[in-house]
Homo-oligomer: A and B are copies of this chain.
Amino acid sequence: MDDAHSAAPAWLGDPNLLAAFWRYERALMTNDVAELDELFARGGTTVRSEAGSALVGHDAIASFRAARPPVPLRHLRRVHLRPISADAAVIIAETIRGDRGTGVQTQLWQRVEGLWEVTVAHVSTVPGLQFSAPKLTAAEERAIWATPEARRPLVESVAHPDAVAHPDAVAHPDAQAHPDGTGRVGSLAGVRVAVKDLFAIAGERIGAGNPTFLAGKSAETTTSPAVAALLAEGAEITGLAQTDELAFSIAGTNVHYGTPPNPAAPGRIPGGSTSGPASAVALGLADLGLGTDTAGSIRVPGSYTGLFGLRTTHDAVSREGLVPLAPSFDTVGLLARDLPTLAAGARAILSTGSTAPGNSADAARSDSAAPPAAISTLIVDPSLVALADADTQASFEAGLRALSLASGTPVVQTSSAIDPAELEVWFDAFRLVQQFEAWVSDRSFVEANPGALDPAISERFRVASGLTDNQALDARLVLARATVRLEQLVPPGSALALPSTSGPAPERDASPAEIDRVRGATLRLTCLASLSGLPALTLPFGRVGTLPVGLCLIGARGADQALIGLATPRA
């Protein structure tokens, strides 16, 4: 353990109890019936309930277990611990399967002669969502898609000569062999991708969430490498999906095209700026969303719509053909309903990384050929967690306990916490550089088209236009130091866990003051990966009431796939 880290946080719970729970979870995943029987208390009073009835007695439960098929592989999404006494506790585990089916498992654990065992259990599950095409209004269609239905899918899948079925290729029911004559299947065969309307696709015009921008564009002549990489693995593009205007927002609203629906939190914003892909994937209209993340534009919609999302290491994926916002921070990212799809997408796009020095502080690059170092420590910084709303903090703890148990990875609390005042300095510097670069990126468009932008976005550019080179230079120096601090905090082989957003999605009609508060609190969390260029994975493990809120992992540079590996359920 790194010197900067102290012991596990107290809320994690009694290590012996958690070890017993972990043994149980592992035995469940490997269908180790003998071990499961061992962990259930002997005798006639043990109760196991499921659906509409209870089985009473160890023998009846063992008979049931011997006869049932193995439990499907699943994520532990949240694990709640409720101690009763030194020798008794209830553990509630919320789970989610690859097919989006969910479950809850309530267990009374009691310590008998020094050993923890289950004396009462109750399990319930719901099947995976069946994505029959949702009925959308014309306004919802327009808010999600930049390309009208008649023109989707835009691009036929192309057979990549090197595409081979990956050993853990996504098992999509409609996956077919590519018509390249080799019989080989790309790892994304059958996967439908919603591409944020910032990426170049040959023959298509880029809209960037603004009609005037679109009107001024002609059709692209080349396709962005990230898009091409997905196509090469057999993915199909379902359409270009909407973005917040010029990607300069994390709300998921757009005055020109409307707000895409958030099926996981009806009546609430979906988060942005990768709003259209998030909505499309959450609705089941696409399986994978290709987007960008500058200040949180993958992580925020992922958190708000209950999706897995990856912000890749800065420069690990090519940004060629992409409309820039703030190149020092701009990254390509992905959203998916399940982790195998996200993993397959990540493998594809991470092969496109530029080798030229990027704009971020550090030049270390992800090497997609070398297997990333496995992550063996989860780090938590209480001062970062404290930035979230109280309910979100509690849910975060349950989620982190779940991740620790499912992956067998210890959680340690850092002793070199980020001071709130220090974070404020970093955040100000980040925002300044982002605005400075955004003005560089969009100045010509903004100046040439007065009145074309949402007044709120316009105001951001007005502020940005007043920044000086010296201000930007000072801020970059702050960010360079902050990056060193963060790299020390998250060495290779570790991941920093924090809430993806300060809370669940605000209501669509929340007051501007409330929206601002949420935006400020969330950006203080998201800016850490953004300013340092480190990869970040958001997991849909948290809930406040019924609303999703993500758990975020920040990894060392290039640890994109290691983060996914950490979160992947194992038998």
Interface residues of A (CB under 8 A from B): 44-45, 47, 49-57, 60, 63-64, 78, 80, 82, 84-85, 88, 90, 92, 94-96, 101-104, 106, 108, 110, 119-120, 122-126, 390-391, 394-395, 398, 543-546
Interface contact A398-B543, CB-CB below 8 Å: no
Interface contact A52-B84, CB-CB below 8 Å: no
Interface contact A60-B544, CB-CB below 8 Å: yes
* A84 contact from B88, B104, B543, Cβ within 8 A: B88
SS class, residues of chain A in contact with chain B = strand
Report the bound CA distance from A56 to B395 in whole Å: 8
Q: Nearest Cβ in chain B — how far from A300, in angstroms?
A: 22
- 10 further interface pairs, Cβ-Cβ under 8 Å (given A54-B78, A54-B94): A45-B394, A49-B106, A52-B103, A53-B104, A54-B543, A84-B88, A85-B88, A104-B122, A106-B106, A108-B108
Q: Nearest Cβ in chain B — how far from A477, in angstroms?
A: 42
Interface contact A52-B90, CB-CB below 8 Å: no
- Assuming the contacts A103-B52, A108-B108, A545-B55, asked whether A44 and B394 have C-beta atoms less than 8 A apart, the reply is yes
Interface contact B391-A56, CB-CB below 8 Å: yes
Oligomeric state, in number of copies?
Answer: 2
Report the bound CA distance from A188 to B391 in whole Å: 53
Interface contact B49-A126, CB-CB below 8 Å: no
Interface contact B52-A82, CB-CB below 8 Å: no
* A80 contact from B47, B63, B80, B394, Cβ within 8 A: B47
Interface contact B545-A63, CB-CB below 8 Å: yes
Q: Nearest Cβ in chain B — how far from A242, in angstroms?
A: 29
Interface contact A85-B82, CB-CB below 8 Å: no
* A52 contact from B54, B104, B544, Cβ within 8 A: B104
- Assuming the contacts A49-B92, A120-B90, A390-B44, asked whether A84 and B110 have C-beta atoms less than 8 A apart, the reply is yes
* A53 contact from B47, B53, B63, B546, Cβ within 8 A: B546
The 5 closest A-B pairs by CB, nearest first: A52-B102, A124-B124, A52-B126, A49-B104, A106-B122
Residues of B within 8 A of A94 (CB): 49, 52-54
Residues of B within 8 A of A125 (CB): 51-52
Residue of B nearest to A125 (CB): B52
Residues of B within 8 A of A96 (CB): 52
Residues of B within 8 A of A60 (CB): 391, 544-545
Interface contact B82-A119, CB-CB below 8 Å: yes
Interface contact B124-A49, CB-CB below 8 Å: yes
Residue of B nearest to A123 (CB): B124
Residue of B nearest to A78 (CB): B54
- Assuming the contacts A50-B124, A51-B126, A106-B106, asked whether A56 and B84 have C-beta atoms less than 8 A apart, the reply is no
Residues of B within 8 A of A56 (CB): 80, 391, 394-395, 398, 543
Report the bound CA distance from A543 to B48 in whole Å: 13
Report the bound CA distance from A265 to B488 in whole Å: 63
Interface contact A51-B102, CB-CB below 8 Å: yes
Residue of B nearest to A57 (CB): B391
Report the bound CA distance from A395 to B395 in whole Å: 38
Report the bound CA distance from A170 to B90 in whole Å: 42
Q: Nearest Cβ in chain B — how far from A455, in angstroms?
A: 35
Report the bound CA distance from A110 to B60 in whole Å: 28
Residues of B within 8 A of A90 (CB): 90, 108, 119-120
Residues of B within 8 A of A51 (CB): 102, 104, 124-126
Residue of B nearest to A50 (CB): B124
Q: Nearest Cβ in chain B — how far from A353, in angstroms?
A: 38
Report the bound CA distance from A120 to B91 in whole Å: 10
